[in-house]
Amino acid sequence: MKLLLDFFPIILFFVAFKVWGIYAATAVAIVATVAQIAYLRFKHGKVEPMQWVSLGVIVLFGGATLLTHNDSFIKWLSQYDATLAATLHEHNDSFIKWKPTVLYWLMGGALLVGQLGFGKNLLRSVMGAQLQLPDAIWLKLNWAWTAFFALMGALNLWVAYHFDTDSWVNFKLFGGMGLMVVFVIAQAIYMSRYLPQEEQTADSGGKQP
């Protein structure tokens, strides 16, 4: 159920894109993400920080893609980036294509800054209660996820600017998620080598031969 809920905005985005096009799909993704956060907030009383970040990014970049036709805003924005203002004014879909990259790089940046700036392994902070692993392994996992997020962000931009929008949407749903699943499985196999032996004893009922 949780997995389906996590994929809910992406699935709806893909379906809406195939039926109505990129701009309708962007609007659907914004509404679906807001609905997802509202459901989690009222059902469980808690929303994970990265889910709030995801909401902020999709609203910011999706909204920029759809809504910015206000002359005063365009003129103000052009003081800082004329190219960006023209992109907004022309109703360009570049903003929504940047959204996954921004999200990947925010997550990777958080892991990097946490480790180098504050000496805190954020991955361990999130998963440490469920997994007992040596400090050196947590450090390797943290660096692996940092590199993965950096590469995924770059790959998303490469696909976005070297292929058409239809190909990018297919990559976003199938390619991006597929690579994430493969990476998670690889991480699980790697971590299994370092899990405490007592967990295996508990699984066998704790009986001694």
Secondary structure of 88-109 as H, E, C letters: HHCCCCHHHHHHHHHHHHHHHH
Residue 47 lies in a domain: yes
Check residue 147 and give its pLDDT.
97
**Residue ranges of E strands in 13-102:** none
Q: Give the tokens for residue 199.
A: 């967990």
Tell me which residue has tokens 């990097």.
112
| Euclidean distance between CA atoms 18 and 77, whole angstroms | 32
| Euclidean distance between CA atoms 38 and 33, whole angstroms | 9
Mean pLDDT is lowest, of 56-70, 89-103, 144-158, for: 56-70
Q: Tell me if the pTM is above 0.75.
A: no
Check residue 23 and give its pLDDT.
76
Q: What is the mean pLDDT of residues 5-24?
A: 79
Of the ranges 31-35, 58-62, 111-115, the best mean pLDDT one: 111-115
Give residue 95's domain range.
2-69+80-196
Residue 206 lies in a domain: no
Task: Give me the number of domains the chain comprises.
Answer: 1
User: pLDDT over 70 for what percent of the chain?
Assistant: 75
Check residue 139 and give its pLDDT.
94
Check residue 204 and give its pLDDT.
46
Residue 118 lies in a domain: yes
Query: Do the Cβ atoms of 14 and 28 come closer than 8 Å?
Result: no
Q: Please provide the average confidence, as pLDDT, over all residues in the chain.
A: 77
Residue 127 lies in a domain: yes
Could you tell me the sign of the dihedral formed by the alpha carbons of 149, 152, 158, 164, in that order?
negative
Query: Do the Cβ atoms of 99 and 58 come closer than 8 Å?
Result: yes
